Amino acid sequence: MTSMLLARRLAPSIQHSHHLIGPGCRLISQAAAKVDIEFDYDGPLMKTEVPGPRSQELMRQLNIVQNAEAVHFFCNYEESRGNYLVDVDGNRMLDLYSQISSVPIGYSHPALVKVVQQPQNVSTFINRPALGILPPENFVDKLRESLLSVAPKGMSQLITMACGSCSNENAFKTVFMWYRSKERGQRGFSKEELETCMINQAPGCPDYSILSFMGAFHGRTMGCLATTHSKAIHKIDIPSFDWPIAPFPRLKYPLEEFVKENQQEEARCLEEVEDLIVKYRKKKKTVAGIIVEPIQSEGGDNHASDDFFRKLRDIARKHGCAFLVDEVQTGGGCTGKFWAHEHWGLDDPADVMTFSKKMMTGGFFHKEEFRPNAFKVRFGIQSASWNSSHHISVPGSRKRKKGRREKRPPCLWQPSPYRIFNTWLGDPCKNLLLAEVINVIKREDLLSNATHAGKALLTGLLDLQARYPQFISRVRGRGTFCSFDTPDESTRNKLILVARNKGVVLGGCGDKSIRFRPTLVFRDHHAHLFLNIFSDILADFNPEILLEP
Amino acid sequence: MTSMLLARRLAPSIQHSHHLIGPGCRLISQAAAKVDIEFDYDGPLMKTEVPGPRSQELMRQLNIVQNAEAVHFFCNYEESRGNYLVDVDGNRMLDLYSQISSVPIGYSHPALVKVVQQPQNVSTFINRPALGILPPENFVDKLRESLLSVAPKGMSQLITMACGSCSNENAFKTVFMWYRSKERGQRGFSKEELETCMINQAPGCPDYSILSFMGAFHGRTMGCLATTHSKAIHKIDIPSFDWPIAPFPRLKYPLEEFVKENQQEEARCLEEVEDLIVKYRKKKKTVAGIIVEPIQSEGGDNHASDDFFRKLRDIARKHGCAFLVDEVQTGGGCTGKFWAHEHWGLDDPADVMTFSKKMMTGGFFHKEEFRPNAFKVRFGIQSASWNSSHHISVPGSRKRKKGRREKRPPCLWQPSPYRIFNTWLGDPCKNLLLAEVINVIKREDLLSNATHAGKALLTGLLDLQARYPQFISRVRGRGTFCSFDTPDESTRNKLILVARNKGVVLGGCGDKSIRFRPTLVFRDHHAHLFLNIFSDILADFNPEILLEP
């Protein structure tokens, strides 16, 4: 494996890296002056069938220690750049799936190379702190430069987490605490609550629920999995909670031809949501919150209208349920807005919003009223103690007088910092990279680019749909977050395999959809390149033939 | 904030970094030739009360966006090295808590600085892959160099995860799948299972349980939290599962004086475990697995004898339950063995073992029979499909013939790679660092060091216990994994605060214990340094006085 190109870019002359042109690369200059020069390849270059012999050998080795049957191929990330993923057999592919939608500004972006190279940053990559107790000096600054600079409307509070599942799990917990605190009012935890929670019983562990939608994907840890309903294989054999599941609209396309039907479909789903809230309250499994993706991704790229989400948000408010928007896949700019929920045009779009993937770190934003509440410790109840060995008064929050004896009041409102907590709480080295990613997104106006390139992609897909209706239907999308349906799973999978051998990486979702999840540096010309290749594929495509080179 | 020292170490002369001596630093040369020269400070240096003014200002700023009341102080990680943590006010403290036990070989270890600096590694820090589908070329090699080189007995299979909670969550899922697969035998998923799992109902989501112990801590996501029983504040207001909870032995110290009582206590707990397994089977909440920490850490550093664990392992085997050992805090060498369960001396110590913290990546090892099983897809059941768009046959696992029509057999054993899966599945940049950490552990024989330095620490603590029985009791430990009890929570918390202002960072656990969790480069002389400081503290200590400078 050669990595000469990267090595050259790592030389002290890095600031001139855009002058370096390696074999097979070219400079792609954008017309608009504001767009930075991008380091990218000029097209796919295929040398073997994928997976090639080297990938196959590595798959065999990996399969000895874990099930490697999900592996597509092994990658040479050193040689990958921009929108192009290079594999270990030297194949170079236009990547429209970008690591399940988790690469924000392309592979090996020079700005990120610099972040790692800067001497003052090395410490952040090797000294991972317990962020909740011992944050680094620049923690607040980096949050301001990165996540806080793109905070969604009304949600001023921010917690970082290591991944999307942990983000949703902790968002659920935040919702449960908020709901219980509303019910509890001014009283503190009761002795019964403190004792029963230790043995997983109500009232300490209340029978609250989170309402989710059929087709949703919110992660695979046990709390998240109770709200995930996209594929049986994610859920089978795993114990779960009896939580309400509403139908998600199944829209008919083209939308302009099915306006009334789609409105009726959305109304039906919203009605079911309200019915379930009432039904589960009666069952004593009160719906503390509703979770929804702005576009159901893993479940098949299922869209609903902005109006649907506005009404859903109203229903949540009406019934006193928290409204939790999962932007793990939709967030970060790919829909043309930084957060997909911005398309709804609401001043109060959500109470809690989770993110991960393209944001490089997981986490969630929430409203101030969802800050885990202070709680009343009743005298003599030892088990009420949070790990107060860690506790330090925040300046101004509590006054102490010098030399005075400390006297514990019999009843005390205590801060509750350890209610949402874990050892790492994210990773500052991801915040460092994200700050630079957000710089690049802003500097290069990559949100406008997503709108523009997405339009080129969608227009092209609609054209292919018109020409090949036997293979392509229900073309849909927002920004570059596009997709279409194929006739069936087998055809879909074959199309993905054929495209890969022609140098294009695509991803599936749902039963028979293909989803586009390119990076934010995916430009119009990449869209046209893909459309040309895919058009050729469709012209020759025979779903009945087993495909091998 | 100056970071000149680090900057100097990052110069091209890094290979000679052990010749650099900055102000306040010294070279600590060990007598034994095998021990590398260590870059460390020569003692604490305090300039302000902790938190100092700069920390307080940053805490105020952080508290605007999240509850910052758990923050001890803000850190200058660039200046921190070895066993010494430097804060933003220039205070330098001997760190015996090491970021809640998650720093393996000390701060700013030169070997790790090198890993970040090497040009061929930069890509790994900026191109984070979806490991389950597109691993990097060196993935298997790095696993071999790191985790596989310390694989626990009998557990050849390995999955990486992003954190400890995700590790336990996925270990539970692995256990549930294994248990159901035993029950299911040769038959595939039934139509009823495939349909009911999508709506969280049995039989698709069976009512299995995991047996845990009172006082245990296994994480805070909802599955983990159902097995965590250390503090009410971790659990209150969060819905949970009705899973069995057994008592954990409460040993009396000194152990040699209470041999019989402790044996009886352990026998009582083991009997309760068996009773609960029978009881929950009757309740139709079958115990699929038992999870236990080799030493309950967060819950108060509760030890049990090796014999207790050997018998517990036998009980799990007898009742057909998986035996899951949580080494998130005990693993990585601090007890003097790489995994604490090695002290039990068993050939078949566990079925699944989880790790995180000092291992820098989360994950779990398991036996081959726990590999998520192939499953039978019955013809026509679409919802049985895993996301087969990703599917690539592992070479040799299935043969295809050229040009032949693909024909789906009506009934087929399918691989099931997507049953344990998420987008990132860990992070290769952590594997890269871990490979170097394990190199250092082996090269410097840091397991022997943990035994040796731990003995110095424990001996000193026993001596302090003899001199200050009013403050110190139940001194206990294995390797450097030591602890003692104080009379009450308030005294414990004050001791921690006083020690910090004298330049020693300690951690609490349980209601009133202090735990020692130093790095693996904690040497005898650090133990003696701590013991001298702490002895002075105890000589002057008055738990009734409110302490401020």
- How does residue A10 score in pLDDT terms, banded at 50, 70 and 90? very low
- Residues in B closer than 8 angstroms to A390, CB to CB, are 70, 72, 507-508
- How does residue A249 score in pLDDT terms, banded at 50, 70 and 90? very high
Mean pLDDT of the B366-386 span: 60
Q: What angle do CA B156, B162, B165 make, to 5 degrees?
A: 90
Mean pLDDT of the B486-509 span: 97
Query: What sign results for the dihedral spanned by CA atoms B504, B508, B513, B515?
Result: negative
Q: Do B128 and A238 touch (CB under 8 A)?
A: no
Residue A73 among the catalytic residues: no
Residue B244 vs residues B86, B302, B522, B542: alpha-carbon distances, Å: 44, 19, 39, 43
Judge whether residue A4 has pLDDT over 70: no
Judge whether residue A150 has pLDDT over 60: yes
Give the pLDDT confidence score for residue B393 in this predicted structure.
Answer: 38
- Residues in B closer than 8 angstroms to A496, CB to CB, are 389
DSSP string, A428-496: HHHHHHHHHHHHHHHHTTHHHHHHHHHHHHHHHHHHHHHH-TTT-EEEEEETTEEEEE-SSHHHHHHHH
Closest-CA residue of chain B to A95: B134
Judge whether residue B29 has pLDDT over 70: no
Give the pLDDT confidence score for residue B286 in this predicted structure.
Answer: 98
pLDDT tens per residue across span B458-473:
999 999 999 999 999 9
Judge whether residue A488 has pLDDT over 70: yes
Give the pLDDT confidence score for residue B418 in this predicted structure.
Answer: 87
Judge whether residue A518 has pLDDT over 50: yes
Task: Compute how many other C-beta atoms are within 10 angstroms of the C-beta atom of residue B141.
Answer: 15
- How does residue A372 score in pLDDT terms, banded at 50, 70 and 90? confident
Integer Cα distance of A352 and A365 in angstroms: 6
Comparing CA positions, the residue from A370, A332, A325 lying closest to residue A349 is A325
Asked if A215 contacts A248 with a C-beta cutoff of 8 angstroms, the reply is yes
Asked if A14 contacts A35 with a C-beta cutoff of 8 angstroms, the reply is no
Give the pLDDT confidence score for residue B394 in this predicted structure.
Answer: 41
Average pLDDT, chain A: 88
Q: Do B119 and A7 touch (CB under 8 A)?
A: yes
Give the pLDDT confidence score for residue B417 in this predicted structure.
Answer: 72
Judge whether residue B386 has pLDDT over 90: no
- Residues in B closer than 8 angstroms to A235, CB to CB, are 197-198, 200, 204-205
Give the pLDDT confidence score for residue B374 in this predicted structure.
Answer: 55
Q: Residues B307, B348, B423, B536: which is the catalytic one?
A: B423
- How does residue A414 score in pLDDT terms, banded at 50, 70 and 90? low
Q: Do A60 and B204 touch (CB under 8 A)?
A: no
Give the pLDDT confidence score for residue A188 in this predicted structure.
Answer: 85
Strand B375-378 and strand B362-366: the pairing is unpaired
Higher per-residue pLDDT: B187 or B233: B233
Integer Cα distance of B459 and B467 in angstroms: 13
Judge whether residue A379 has pLDDT over 90: no
DSSP string, A85-122: EEBTTS-EEEESSHHHHT-SS-BT-HHHHHHHHSGGGH
Give φ, ψ of A500 to 5 degrees. -60, -45
Give the pLDDT confidence score for residue A38 in this predicted structure.
Answer: 54
Q: Do B56 and A395 touch (CB under 8 A)?
A: yes
Judge whether residue A23 has pLDDT over 60: no
Mean pLDDT of the B9-31 span: 37
Average pLDDT, chain B: 88
Q: Do A76 and B158 touch (CB under 8 A)?
A: no
Residue B73 vs residues A14, B80, B90: alpha-carbon distances, Å: 36, 14, 11
Structure tokens at B72: 């001890």
Q: Do B389 and A507 touch (CB under 8 A)?
A: yes
Residue A357 among the catalytic residues: yes
For an interface test with B, the pick among A13, A55, A69 (most B C-beta atoms closer than 10 Å) comes out as A69
Rg over CA atoms, chain B: 25
Specify the amino acid at residue B533: I
Give the pLDDT confidence score for residue A547 in this predicted structure.
Answer: 55
What ipTM score was computed for the predicted complex, to two decimals?
0.90
Residue B423 among the catalytic residues: yes
Integer Cα distance of B510 and B298 in angstroms: 6
- How does residue A391 score in pLDDT terms, banded at 50, 70 and 90? very low
Judge whether residue A504 has pLDDT over 90: yes
pLDDT tens per residue across span B287-319:
999 999 999 999 999 999 999 999 999 999 999
- How does residue A411 score in pLDDT terms, banded at 50, 70 and 90? very low
Q: Do A404 and B546 touch (CB under 8 A)?
A: yes
- Residues in A closer than 8 angstroms to B60, CB to CB, are 394-396
Structure tokens at B7: 């900057």
Q: Do B116 and A132 touch (CB under 8 A)?
A: no
Mean pLDDT of the A46-50 span: 98
Asked if A136 contacts A187 with a C-beta cutoff of 8 angstroms, the reply is no
Q: What angle do CA B234, A280, B180 make, to 5 degrees?
A: 65
| Domain spans of chain B, in order of start | 122-375+419-441, 445-480
Residue B34 among the catalytic residues: no
Give the pLDDT confidence score for residue A374 in this predicted structure.
Answer: 55
Judge whether residue B370 has pLDDT over 60: yes
Mean pLDDT of the B200-210 span: 98
Topology (CATH level 3) of domain A122-375+419-441: Aspartate Aminotransferase; domain 2 (3.40.640)
Give the pLDDT confidence score for residue A418 in this predicted structure.
Answer: 87
Q: Residues A348, A423, A442, A459: which is the catalytic one?
A: A423
Structure tokens at A27: 């400079």
* pTM of the entire predicted model: 0.90
Tally C-beta pairs within 8 A across A and B. Answer: 532
Q: Residues A89, A95, A301, A326: which is the catalytic one?
A: A326
Give the pLDDT confidence score for residue B39 in this predicted structure.
Answer: 80
Integer Cα distance of A129 and A135 in angstroms: 6
Mean pLDDT of the A53-77 span: 97
- Residues in B closer than 8 angstroms to A406, CB to CB, are 490, 546
Instruction: Break chain B down into helix, strand, coil percent, rounded to 5.
Output: 40, 15, 45
Judge whether residue A257 has pLDDT over 60: yes
Integer Cα distance of A161 and A427 in angstroms: 8
Q: Which of B180, B214, B401 lies closest to A237 in CB terms?
A: B180
Asked if B392 contacts B415 with a C-beta cutoff of 8 angstroms, the reply is no
Q: Residues B142, B337, B357, B358: which is the catalytic one?
A: B357
Integer Cα distance of B425 and B162 in angstroms: 6
Q: What angle do CA A112, A115, A120 make, to 5 degrees?
A: 175
CA distance A194 to chain B (A): 6
Residue A172 vs residues A231, A489, B386: alpha-carbon distances, Å: 22, 33, 27
- How does residue B187 score in pLDDT terms, banded at 50, 70 and 90? confident
User: What is residue A270's three-state secondary structure?
Assistant: helix
- How does residue A244 score in pLDDT terms, banded at 50, 70 and 90? very high
Judge whether residue A217 has pLDDT over 60: yes
User: Please, how many CA atoms are within 13 Å of residue B493, restricted to the half-sphere of its CB?
Assistant: 20
User: Please, how many CA atoms are within 13 Å of residue A450, restricted to the half-sphere of its CB?
Assistant: 30
Rg over CA atoms, chain A: 25
- How does residue A22 score in pLDDT terms, banded at 50, 70 and 90? very low
